[in-house]
Amino acid sequence: MSAMATIQLAGAPLVARRGSAKKASKANRRAMRCNAATAAEVEGKVISYPFVKLVGQEELKLALILNVIDSRIGGCLIMGDRGTGKSVAVRALSDLLPEIDVVEGDAFNSSPTDPQLMGPEALEAFKAGLELTWAKMKVPMVEVPLGTTEDRICGTIDIEKALAEGVKAYDAGLLARANRGLLYIDEVNLLDDSLVDVVLDSAAGGWNTVEREGISITHPAKFIMIGSGNPEEGELRPQLLDRFGMACNIATIFDQKQRIELVKNRMAYEADPEAFAASCKAETDELKAKISAAQKILPNVTMDRDLALKISGVCALVDVDGLRGDIVVTRAAKALVAYEGRDVVTEDDIKRVIGPCLSHRLRKDPLDTMDGSFKVMLGFNKVFNGSALKDFSAAMEEGVKDPEEEQRKEEEAKAKEEAAAAPKKAGAWGGLPGFGR
Neighbours of 23 (CB within 10 A): 9
Residue 4: inside a domain: no
pLDDT of residue 308: 92
Residue 17: inside a domain: no
Residue 411: inside a domain: no
Determine the Cα–Cα distance for residues 362 and 164; give it in Å rounded to an integer: 53
Residues 144 and 241 in one domain: yes
Residue 275, SS3 per DSSP: helix
Residues 89 and 217 in one domain: yes
Residues 87 and 213 in one domain: yes
Residues 267 and 191 in one domain: yes
Determine the Cα–Cα distance for residues 37 and 140; give it in Å rounded to an integer: 9
pLDDT of residue 396: 47
CATH number at residue 310: 1.10.8.80
Beta strand 134-137 with 141-143 is unpaired
Neighbours of 6 (CB within 10 A): 13
Residue 326: inside a domain: yes
Q: Which of 91, 177, 243, 324 is catalytic?
A: 324
Residues 345 and 271 in one domain: no
Rounded to an integer, what is the distance from CA 41 to the centroid of its chain?
A: 23
DSSP code per residue over 176-198: HHTTTSEEEEETGGGS-HHHHHH
183 and 175 in contact (C-beta within 8 Å)? yes
- Alpha helices, H only, 128-220: 150-154, 159-165, 174-177, 193-205
Residues 206 and 264 in one domain: yes
pLDDT of residue 84: 83
Residues 306 and 276 in one domain: no
154 and 210 in contact (C-beta within 8 Å)? yes
Residues 275 and 379 in one domain: no
Residues 211 and 349 in one domain: no
Range of the structural domain that residue 261 is part of:
33-39+48-97+138-281
CATH number at residue 72: 3.40.50.300
How are strands ordered across the β-sheet holding 130-132? Answer: 4-7, 14-18, 130-132
Residues 159 and 83 in one domain: yes
CA angle 198, 99, 227 (to 5 degrees): 30
Residue 424: inside a domain: no
Catalytic site residue 324?
Answer: yes
Task: Please state the length of the chain.
Answer: 437
Residues 178 and 267 in one domain: yes
> pLDDT (tens digit, 0 to 9) for every residue of the chain, 437 residues total?
333 333 344 444 444 443 333 333 333 333 333 343 334 334 446 788 899 898 888 899 999 999 999 989 989 999 988 888 888 899 888 888 878 888 888 888 888 888 888 888 888 888 888 888 888 888 888 999 888 888 889 888 777 776 677 666 777 889 988 888 899 998 888 888 888 888 888 888 888 888 877 778 888 888 989 999 888 888 887 778 888 899 998 888 888 888 999 999 999 999 999 999 999 899 999 999 999 999 999 999 999 999 999 999 999 998 888 888 999 999 999 999 999 999 999 999 999 999 999 988 888 766 666 677 788 888 899 898 874 444 444 544 444 455 555 666 666 666 666 656 655 554 444 554 554 44
Neighbours of 44 (CB within 10 A): 12
Residue 320: inside a domain: yes
Phi/psi for 53 (5° steps) reads -100, 5
Residue 130: inside a domain: no
Determine the Cα–Cα distance for residues 258 and 253; give it in Å rounded to an integer: 7
Determine the Cα–Cα distance for residues 419 and 428; give it in Å rounded to an integer: 14
Residues 206 and 347 in one domain: no
Residue 433: inside a domain: no
Q: What is the end-to-end Cα distance of the chain in Å, rounded?
A: 108
Residue 333, SS3 per DSSP: helix
Q: Among 375, 381, 382, which Cα is nearest to 402's?
A: 375
Total of domains in the chain: 2
AA identity, residue 383 = V
